Amino acid sequence: MIQELKDNYGHLFEKELINEIAQVGTFKEVPAGFTMMAIGDYIRGVPLLISGAIKVMREDKEGDELLLYYLESGETCSMTMNCCMGHTKSEIKAVAEQDTILIMIPVQKMEEWTTKYKSWRDFVFQSYHNRLNEVLHILDSVAFEKMDQRLVNYLKEKVRINNSNTIQNTHQEIAYDLHSSRVVISRLLKKLEQMGAIELHRNHIKIIDLE
């Protein structure tokens, strides 16, 4: 585990902290599509991502969803910290976007290291900082942009996260992520295809040029 920690967190944490993490952390492998956390779950630990990506979503009472952002390697879930600190239930849903490897840290250790290691403290603050900014950008997107622009942003982000020009999703899945309806998404995608920006296929979309 030491090696993976060094590779992904070596530039952030001092050696002693890496060693401590290796002692108390537990390795976890999660297959793509697996729901790692649902609304209302209690939190057992804080995850440190080693590889893969996790999709973080908001959900309302009717079960309507909205994609918030993706967690990538070298990142953690400040929402989880959020819950640990507040001793409240999860307010978000997390699903593995790809096959993902991560290390789970028990909650108590998190608090202990906050006192002990400046690098851990900075990491936690930085995580909060990043999440707050990401949620603000989603808010901008939902509040100020129209669906066609939101869709383009969504496709770009998917390309970036999965590092592939082919998006393996149905129109329905995209509609859920953007909290829209399948018909609307199909309509807008067709428009993008007619503009030559993408190519539509059953179960996948090829991105040509989204600028």
Which stretches of the chain bind DNA, using CB under 7 A? 146-148, 170-172, 179-184, 186-187, 189-190, 193, 200-204
Taking CA atoms, 90 is separated from 16, 66, 103, in Å, by: 31, 15, 19
Q: Does 183 bind its own copies (CB under 8 A)?
A: no
Whose structure tokens read 């600190």? 85
Stretch touching its own copies by CB under 8 A, among 41-49, 77-85, 161-169, 188-196: 77-85
Report d(CA 48, CA 105) in Å as an integer. Answer: 8
Provide the b/e sequence for 116-141 (b: ≥16 CB within 10 Å).
Answer: ebebbeebbeebeeebeebbeebeee
Per the rule left: phi > 0, alpha: psi between -120 and 50, beta: everything else, 74 is left
Total site size for its own copies, rule CB under 8 A: 32
Interface residue with its own copies among 14, 16, 29, 60 (CB under 8 A) is 60
DSSP letters, 79-91, are HHHHHHHHT----
Interface residue with its own copies among 51, 73, 114, 186 (CB under 8 A) is 114
Q: Does 86 bind its own copies (CB under 8 A)?
A: yes
| Beta-sheet pairing, 166-167 with 100-106 | unpaired
Interface residue with its own copies among 15, 129, 190, 204 (CB under 8 A) is 129
Quick one: what does residue 163 bind among its own copies, DNA, none, with the CB cut-off 5 to 8 Å set by partner type? none
Quick one: what does residue 138 bind among its own copies, DNA, none, with the CB cut-off 5 to 8 Å set by partner type? its own copies
Question: Going along the chain, which residue ranges are E strands?
Answer: 26-30, 35-37, 45-51, 53-59, 65-72, 93-96, 100-106, 166-167, 198-201, 204-207
Quick one: what does residue 116 bind among its own copies, DNA, none, with the CB cut-off 5 to 8 Å set by partner type? none
Q: Does 139 bind its own copies (CB under 8 A)?
A: yes
Quick one: what does residue 170 bind among its own copies, DNA, none, with the CB cut-off 5 to 8 Å set by partner type? DNA
Quick one: what does residue 184 bind among its own copies, DNA, none, with the CB cut-off 5 to 8 Å set by partner type? DNA
Single-letter amino acid code for the residue at 88 = T
Q: Does 132 bind its own copies (CB under 8 A)?
A: yes
Closest CB to its own copies among 2 and 139? 139
